[in-house]
Structure 1
Amino acid sequence: MPLSTDPKINETSEALKETLKGAFHTPPGYRPAHARGILLNGTFKPTPEAASLSSAPHLNAPSTPVIGRFSNSTGIPTIPDNDANANPKGFAVRFTLPEKDGRRQHTDIIAHSTPFFPVNSGAGFLALLGAIGASSAPDAPKNPSPIEAFLGKTPSALAFVTAPKPFPTSFGTEKYFGVNAFKLISSEGKETLVRYRITPDAGESYITDEEAKAKDAAYLHNEIQTRIIDGGVSFSWWVQIAEEGDITNDATERWPEERKLVKLGTITLEKVSDDNDEEQRKLIFDPIPRVAGFDVSDDPLLDQRADLYLASGKERRAAGPHH
């Protein structure tokens, strides 16, 4: 999993990492985005349909071990679960695959609780963060402020910012979306362009902003641990299938809701991971699948996200254990 060979991507990743850390005053050893989270262990079981779409090992084995990470937005490791800035919530899943040639293998999903992404490039994300930062400066222009001006000329960012982001009752009653497009490749070589969706088997459930204010600052992290003790939590992993003409290289462009959904399988989480803080520091999720049976689409955000996650992860590991 090398850093990108494109110096422009590396440069943007470095700028994004430092800008995010600066914006949130993220301490060493934590992610500059989605810093506060919890790891859980479980299993994935595929549907019979999954094998017809992809030759990937986890879609063709009876079951595969998984690690799931629920998280809050921002690079603030102490952000309360009931802070509006902690939405959207994140959900990442690692599938631990059989060893190959003596090497450990895995593939990951990265999703969050809104179907939108505010921008379609690393440079666009940097411009968004720059506008947010400039707006909080003491001498920032008013009417419009830098962020108002940016949102005024970037409809996708405006849609993201203004989309409702209700507080879930539980990490286990929230739905999650993968905003990038991927290719599934069958054993016959047939390619299917898809986007991921993950839906809670317990059903979606939300609370009002007023109810959230009355909750404990760790209400979601505590609730999910209780839910695990009470029998676990499960999700259905779906793919939304693109049709002719659907845009696959722009994460801000949603596909029509009537596109076919196919269930790939069930993700069940049954245990809170041991050494949670230390494992979170070491674990680097990868937006690029890097496994047979899956491939990237033409979305340029994928390389940028992967480069940023890896650069950030290497820095976290170098920082040593949390104190």
Structure 2
Amino acid sequence: MRRSLTSVSLIALGFLTTTLAVSPAALAQEPQVEEQIVDAFQQLFGKHAGERTNHAKGIVAEGEFQAAQQAADLTTAAHFQTGTTVPVKVRFSNATGIPTLPDGDPNANPHGLAVKFSLPDGAETDIVINSLKFFPVATGAEFRDLLLAVAASGPNSPKPTKLEQFVAAHPAVAKAGATVATPESFATENYFGINAFAFTNKAGETRFIRYVAEPLAGVSHLAPADAAKRAPDFLSEDLAARLAREPVRFRLLAQVAEPGDAITDATIPWPEDRRRVELGTLTITKLAADNKAAAKELLFLPGNVTDGIAPSDDPLIAIRDAAYAVSFSRRSE
């Protein structure tokens, strides 16, 4: 049975766009942390056969990615080479593990964008980004503790609740929550990579980057009162209507770190004046023929990279991969 949540709990749950990580050393000490995270999600949201543990509600679409000329200056990755165009599958989604959550519910924030690139050699590589500009906690252990604090903080819990205590001790939680709002459309939202990745170019130069996807349609959000009045599935319906008229496009950018920027702490955003290099254009042309079947078979992993790209030592990347794999195995049962 899903726990009844307080408003504070719901705000915290809005951060659960990515299932977080611990370092390999921590995983050795707590080998079941990814299972604990998935268990906590299912305790909070219930078990829904065939659905994701988090970002359960979403819509799959298809299209292509065309690399920008300057992308090759940063990386040798095949899909970022000048003149290269590759097929993509994407999934837009709402936060939480509730597949029927109305799109205008504040707990549907942050929204996610996952991209699977089909490379020329037949391999695949993924990007998993969301509308949260930075993450509320820095480690998998902290993320597990956040979930446990939510679970222990019902409407009749003594004050301060476990969640209130956690938020007080982790100031990034409130700061991160302030960066999200309900978009007017999946196509009018910015999506950010919370983790850093190492890009290496042909000269052997390595730079750390975080992904940013900017909509060519511009960014547009709804006030909470307006969002609450929208139809339960308005984001998916809007995307279908847009694609019936014309493609939906995003500019994929790499925000490039400078010395001293936090590479391994997802709670610390990089300054807005950091250089952004255009990697290319993501063009979405049509919805998947069978959304449920397509969503069930797709597994997006942040750490699924290709030559020219490597995960940073951010401890969240490995646990995201591990927890996503656990979730995938459960929805495939």
Task: Give the aligned partner of residue 128 of structure 1.
Answer: 146
Give the stretch that moved more between structures: 25-34 or 246-255.
Answer: 25-34
Task: Give the aligned partner of residue 204 of structure 2.
Answer: 189
- Alignment pair present for 1:35 and 2:60: no
Query: CA shift at 1:129, angstroms?
Result: 0.6
Against the structure 1 CA distance between its residues 47 and 315, is the aligned structure 2 distance closer, same or farther, given a 3 Å change threshold?
A: same
How many equivalent residue pairs? 308
- Alignment pair present for 1:201 and 2:223: no
TM (norm. structure 2) is 0.89
Give the stretch that moved more between structures: 104-113 or 224-233.
Answer: 104-113
- Alignment pair present for 1:80 and 2:102: yes
Among candidates 248, 253, 274, match of residue 263 of structure 2? 248
Task: Give the aligned partner of residue 89 of structure 2.
Answer: 67
- Contact 1:9 1:304 (C-alpha < 8 Å) held by counterparts: no
Among candidates 159, 165, 182, match of residue 149 of structure 1? 165
- Alignment pair present for 1:23 and 2:6: no
SS in 1 for 2:47: coil
CA distance in 2: counterparts of 1:168 and 1:137, whole angstroms: 29
1:84 counterpart letter in structure 2: P
- Contact 2:188 2:219 (C-alpha < 8 Å) held by counterparts: yes
Among candidates 289, 295, 300, match of residue 310 of structure 2? 295
CA distance in 1: counterparts of 2:198 and 2:304, whole angstroms: 10
CA distance in 2: counterparts of 1:222 and 1:307, whole angstroms: 32
- Contact 1:64 1:95 (C-alpha < 8 Å) held by counterparts: yes
Task: Give the aligned partner of residue 195 of structure 2.
Answer: 180
Structure 2 unpaired stretches of 5+: 1-23
Query: CA shift at 1:10, angstroms?
Result: 4.1
Among candidates 100, 104, 107, match of residue 125 of structure 2? 107
Query: CA shift at 1:62, angstroms?
Result: 2.1
Task: Give the aligned partner of residue 267 of structure 1.
Answer: 282
2:115 counterpart letter in structure 1: V
Structure 1 unpaired stretches of 5+: none
- Contact 1:128 1:147 (C-alpha < 8 Å) held by counterparts: yes
- Contact 1:116 1:251 (C-alpha < 8 Å) held by counterparts: yes
Query: CA shift at 1:26, angstroms?
Result: 3.1
1:87 counterpart letter in structure 2: N
- Contact 1:176 1:199 (C-alpha < 8 Å) held by counterparts: yes
Query: CA shift at 1:232, angstroms?
Result: 1.4
1:77 counterpart letter in structure 2: P
**1:130-178 Cα deviation digits (max 9, x unpaired):** 111100175x221x111111101111122123x0522211100000000
**1:253-301 Cα deviation digits (max 9, x unpaired):** 1111111111100000001012210111111101114310100111011
- Alignment pair present for 1:159 and 2:175: yes
Query: CA shift at 1:9, angstroms?
Result: 5.9
Task: Give the aligned partner of residue 58 of structure 1.
Answer: 79
- Alignment pair present for 1:170 and 2:185: yes
- Identical positions, percent: 38
Against the structure 1 CA distance between its residues 72 and 311, is the aligned structure 2 distance closer, same or farther, given a 3 Å change threshold?
A: same
SS in 2 for 1:22: helix
Against the structure 1 CA distance between its residues 69 and 10, is the aligned structure 2 distance closer, same or farther, given a 3 Å change threshold?
A: farther
CA distance in 1: counterparts of 2:241 and 2:193, whole angstroms: 27
TM (norm. structure 1) is 0.92
- Contact 1:9 1:307 (C-alpha < 8 Å) held by counterparts: no
- Contact 2:133 2:179 (C-alpha < 8 Å) held by counterparts: no
Query: CA shift at 1:75, angstroms?
Result: 0.3
CA distance in 1: counterparts of 2:244 and 2:57, whole angstroms: 21
